[in-house]
Amino acid sequence: MDAPGYRRHLGLFSSTMLIAGSMIGSGVFIVAADMVRTGRSGGFLLAAWGLTALLTLFAALSYGELAGLFPRAGGQYTYLREIYGPGTGFLYGWTFFVVIECGTIAAVAVGFGKYLGSFFPAVNDSVWIGPHLDLPVLHLSHAIAVGPYHLGLTPARLSAIAVVTLLSVVNRYGVRLGARIQDLFTVAKIGGLAALVILGLWLHPASAPAAAPYAPPGHDPALPFLTALLVVQTGSMFSADAWNSVTFIAGEVKAPERTIPLSLLIGTTVVCGLYILANTAYLRVLGPTGIANAPQDRVGSAALQAILGSGGGLIMAGAILVSMFGCLNGLIFSGARVYQRMAEDGLFFSSAAQLNGHGVPAFGLGVQALWTCLLTLTGTYGQLLDFVMVSAILFYILAVAGVFLLRWRKPDLPRPVRVWGYPFVPALYLLGALAIVGTLFIHRPSYSWPGLALVAAGWPVYLAVRPRAVPA
Write out pLDDT tens, residues 115-174.
Answer: 888 889 899 888 999 999 888 888 877 777 777 888 899 999 999 999 999 999 999 988
Could you tell me which residue, 389 or 208, shows the higher pLDDT?
Answer: 389
Could you tell me which residue, 385 or 342, shows the higher pLDDT?
Answer: 342
pLDDT surpassing 90 at residue 204: no
Q: What pLDDT does 328 receive?
A: 93
Q: What pLDDT does 63 receive?
A: 94
Contact 170/177 with Cβ under 8 angstroms? Answer: yes
pLDDT surpassing 60 at residue 2: no
Q: What pLDDT does 207 receive?
A: 65
Q: What pLDDT does 408 receive?
A: 95
Contact 158/116 with Cβ under 8 angstroms? Answer: no
Could you tell me which residue, 444 or 329, shows the higher pLDDT?
Answer: 329
Q: Does domain 12-468 have CATH number 1.20.1740.10?
A: yes
pLDDT surpassing 90 at residue 4: no
Instruction: Say what percent of the chain tops pLDDT 70.
Output: 94
pLDDT surpassing 60 at residue 333: yes
Q: Which residues pair with 138 in a beta bridge?
A: 146
Binning pLDDT at 50, 70 and 90, where does residue 449 land? confident
For residue 83, the number of C-alpha atoms closer than 13 Å in the C-beta half-sphere is 27
Q: What pLDDT does 209 receive?
A: 65
- CA-nearest of 374, 315, 310, 370 to 339 is 370
pLDDT surpassing 90 at residue 197: yes
Cα 406 to chain centroid, rounded: 27
Which uninterrupted H or E stretch holds 39? helix 32-39
Could you tell me which residue, 251 or 61, shows the higher pLDDT?
Answer: 61
What is the distance between the alpha carbons of residues 375 and 180, in angstroms, rounded to a whole number? 28
Query: Taking residues 286-314, what's their average pLDDT?
Result: 87
Q: What pLDDT does 139 receive?
A: 81
Q: What pLDDT does 145 receive?
A: 76
Q: What pLDDT does 399 receive?
A: 97
What is the distance between the alpha carbons of residues 35 and 348, in angstroms, rounded to a whole number? 38
What is the distance between the alpha carbons of residues 381 and 156, in angstroms, rounded to a whole number? 14
Q: What pLDDT does 471 receive?
A: 59
Angle separating helix axes 42-69 and 256-292, nearest 10 degrees: 170
Contact 173/360 with Cβ under 8 angstroms? Answer: yes
Query: Taking residues 32-50, what's their average pLDDT?
Result: 93
Measured over all CA atoms, what is the biggest interatomic distance in the chain, rounded to whole angstroms? 66
Q: What pLDDT does 140 receive?
A: 78
Report angle CA 361, 364, 366 to the nearest 5 degrees: 110
Query: Taking residues 250-256, what's their average pLDDT?
Result: 87
Binning pLDDT at 50, 70 and 90, where does residue 422 land? very high
pLDDT surpassing 70 at residue 232: yes
Query: Taking residues 111-118, what's their average pLDDT?
Result: 85
Q: What pLDDT does 409 receive?
A: 94
Query: Taking residues 306-334, what's their average pLDDT?
Result: 88
Q: Which residues pair with 126 in a beta bridge?
A: none
pLDDT surpassing 80 at residue 468: no
Query: Taking residues 363-383, what's their average pLDDT?
Result: 88
Binning pLDDT at 50, 70 and 90, where does residue 404 land? very high
Query: Taking residues 46-51, what's their average pLDDT?
Result: 96
The whole-chain average pLDDT of the chain stands at: 88
pLDDT surpassing 80 at residue 228: yes
Q: What predicted TM-score, i.e. pTM, was given to this entire model?
A: 0.90
Binning pLDDT at 50, 70 and 90, where does residue 269 land? very high
Distances (CA, A) of 87 to 80, 83, 91, 448: 9, 11, 6, 22
Distances (CA, A) of 443 to 177, 178, 221, 414: 45, 41, 14, 43
Q: Which residues contact 424 (CB under 8 A, 6 or more apart)?
A: none
Query: Taking residues 225-231, what's their average pLDDT?
Result: 92
DSSP three-state, residue 45: helix
Report angle CA 31, 315, 118 to the nearest 5 degrees: 75
Contact 398/84 with Cβ under 8 angstroms? Answer: yes
The total of other beta-carbon atoms located within 10 Å of residue 273's CB is 13
Binning pLDDT at 50, 70 and 90, where does residue 381 land? low
Q: What pLDDT does 281 receive?
A: 94
Binning pLDDT at 50, 70 and 90, where does residue 7 land? confident
**Phi, psi (rounded to 5 degrees) for 133:** -135, 130
Q: What pLDDT does 239 receive?
A: 87
- CA-nearest of 108, 117, 125 to 164 is 108
What is the distance between the alpha carbons of residues 167 and 243, in angstroms, rounded to a whole number? 20
Query: Taking residues 204-230, what's their average pLDDT?
Result: 76
The total of other beta-carbon atoms located within 10 Å of residue 421's CB is 13
Query: Taking residues 181-197, what's their average pLDDT?
Result: 91
Contact 243/267 with Cβ under 8 angstroms? Answer: yes
Query: Taking residues 11-32, what's their average pLDDT?
Result: 90
Which uninterrupted H or E stretch holds 139? strand 138-139
Query: Taking residues 25-32, what's their average pLDDT?
Result: 87
